[in-house]
């Protein structure tokens, strides 16, 4: 079961401190890539990891072990201990000052079991588990990582983190966190050494945008107001994914889970929001471009290596045409990303002043099922939950969702999807999704009993 919305607990935090590298590191300036420093990545992304009590670690303090491991890891990842600066033409760079990352030690009077059988966002009292230290999460001239380790009364603990997204994407962040885990378990150096080399994703000289990038179009309209938001998570296991595949022709049933789920989300969300049928709706699919290069980006590269290709169709087309229509648009968009596309995006950033991707009538999905958050081990084993702390994060709140690996109470592997929508739209979203996953004659209008809704706040 999910944590009860009424779950409230107290967190006692120590004063924030700065953890600097355990040894002297170079004082230098490192430029971010032209993929890193676009406007759409200029925000902090929250991640949370839950760890159970481990008898083999009895008497050992996770706060002390992780604090020391961070200091050791920063010797190798010393740019994280620096501060972000902005130069001419909005170019971002890291001054490697060695000042350190922000760290908060905390204790909570709650046990892991009280969070429920299924650990999925949204998490109660998240703002207490990942305290936003005043001034620490300012974008420039502030710590690039904010980390809080909270001991639980059961002997487990929570590791929570805020990342300045211009520094890394999910694979890059997991690489750093895994290195901290290795150092916490006694390693002298990370098994994968970090590689900067951000110049490999810089614009060409002269820059030339050779591809169509509708994800950066200037679009008239207003952004959906997010003052009355409902936050829920939905679990999609083998049963739900099979049900969705049955809604498309045989020739499309070999599509990936990401593709069918994204098409479903786009359709349900569009119907739930009820826009004018003639308005264009956008589904932005984050695509990892690391393997698109020849040769691929080097192992150890921890910068942002993805792009934001977008599928575009009218609200009427998405709402009234079969699911296969949206699915084929999604597949085409994913297939469009190659090395030239990646380089074209970098060029466009320089040519257009590093714009934000289009947010009007847009939604964005990011698949972190293979990122490896749950594998990060500080000595207490794998995380009981590891990944994004909530949906709807970003420079423009409410326009993003993550696909996070999870298990339901039956032990089935699947994907949990946190989503944010205006409250009334959320109710419609659930009903539409119910009707897609079940026979219409058996569809219940009581959305609270839906088997795939596993968390709501």
Beta bridge partners of 418: 233
107, 132, 377, 427: which is the annotated catalytic residue? Answer: 377
Of 176, 168, 190, the closest CA to residue 49 belongs to 176
Beta bridge partners of 387: 48
Which strands sit side by side in the sheet containing 83-86, from one edge to the other?
29-31, 92-95, 83-86
Q: Is 439 a catalytic residue?
A: no
What is the rounded distance in angstroms from the CA atom of residue 91 to the CA atom of residue 298?
23
36, 37, 165, 347: which is the annotated catalytic residue? Answer: 165
The residue written with tokens 């929250």 in the block is 46
What is the rounded distance in angstroms from the CA atom of residue 7 to the CA atom of residue 112?
12
Of 259, 236, 367, the closest CA to residue 323 belongs to 259
451 φψ region: left (φ > 0), alpha (ψ -120 to 50), beta (else) = alpha
Q: Is 107 a catalytic residue?
A: no
What is the rounded distance in angstroms from the CA atom of residue 133 to the CA atom of residue 15?
9
What does the DSSP 8-state code read for residue 351? H
Q: How many CB atoms lie within 10 A of CB 127?
A: 11
| Active site residues per annotation | 165, 377
């Amino acid at each position: 079961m999910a944590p009860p919305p009424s779950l409230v607990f107290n967190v006692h935090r120590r004063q924030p401190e700065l953890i600097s590298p355990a040894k002297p590191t170079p004082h230098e300036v490192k430029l971010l890539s032209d993929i890193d420093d676009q406007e759409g990545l200029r925000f902090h992304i929250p991640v949370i990891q839950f760890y159970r009590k481990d008898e083999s670690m009895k008497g050992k303090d996770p706060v002390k072990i992780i604090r020391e491991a961070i200091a050791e890891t920063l010797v190798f990842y010393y740019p994280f201990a620096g501060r972000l600066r902005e130069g001419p033409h909005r170019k971002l760079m890291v001054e490697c000052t060695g000042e350190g990352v922000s760290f908060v030690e905390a204790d909570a009077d709650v046990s892991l079991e009280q969070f429920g059988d299924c650990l999925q966002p949204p998490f109660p009292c998240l703002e207490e588990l990942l305290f936003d230290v005043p001034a620490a999460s300012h974008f420039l001239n502030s710590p690039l990582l904010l980390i809080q380790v909270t001991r639980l009364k059961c002997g487990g603990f929570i590791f929570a983190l805020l990342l300045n997204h211009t520094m890394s994407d999910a694979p890059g962040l997991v690489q750093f966190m895994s290195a901290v885990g290795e150092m916490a378990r006694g390693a002298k150096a990370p098994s994968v050494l970090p590689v900067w080399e951000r110049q490999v994703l810089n614009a060409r000289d002269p820059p030339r945008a050779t591809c169509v990038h509708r994800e950066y179009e200037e679009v008239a309209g207003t952004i959906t107001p997010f003052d009355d938001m409902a936050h829920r998570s939905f679990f999609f296991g083998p049963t739900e994914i099979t049900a969705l595949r049955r809604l498309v022709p045989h020739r499309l049933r070999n599509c990936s889970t990401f593709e069918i789920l994204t098409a479903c989300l786009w359709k349900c969300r569009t119907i739930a929001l009820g826009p004018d049928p003639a308005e264009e709706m956008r589904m932005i699919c984050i695509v990892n471009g690391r393997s698109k290069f020849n040769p691929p980006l080097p192992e150890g590269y921890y910068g942002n290596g993805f792009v934001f290709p977008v599928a575009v169709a009218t609200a009427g087309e998405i709402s009234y045409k079969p699911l296969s229509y949206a699915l084929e648009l999604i597949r085409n968009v994913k297939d469009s990303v190659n090395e030239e596309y990646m380089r074209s995006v970098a060029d466009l950033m320089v040519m257009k002043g590093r714009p934000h991707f289009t947010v009007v009538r847009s939604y964005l999905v990011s698949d972190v099922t293979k990122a490896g958050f749950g594998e990060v081990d500080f000595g207490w084993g794998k995380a009981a939950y590891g990944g994004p702390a909530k949906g709807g994060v970003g420079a423009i709140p409410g326009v993003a969702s993550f696909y996070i690996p999870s298990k339901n109470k039956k032990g089935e592997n699947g994907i949990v999807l946190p989503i944010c929508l205006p409250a009334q739209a959320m109710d419609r979203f659930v009903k539409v999704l119910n009707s897609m996953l079940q026979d219409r004659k058996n569809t219940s209008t009581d959305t609270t009993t839906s088997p795939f809704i596993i968390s709501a706040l």
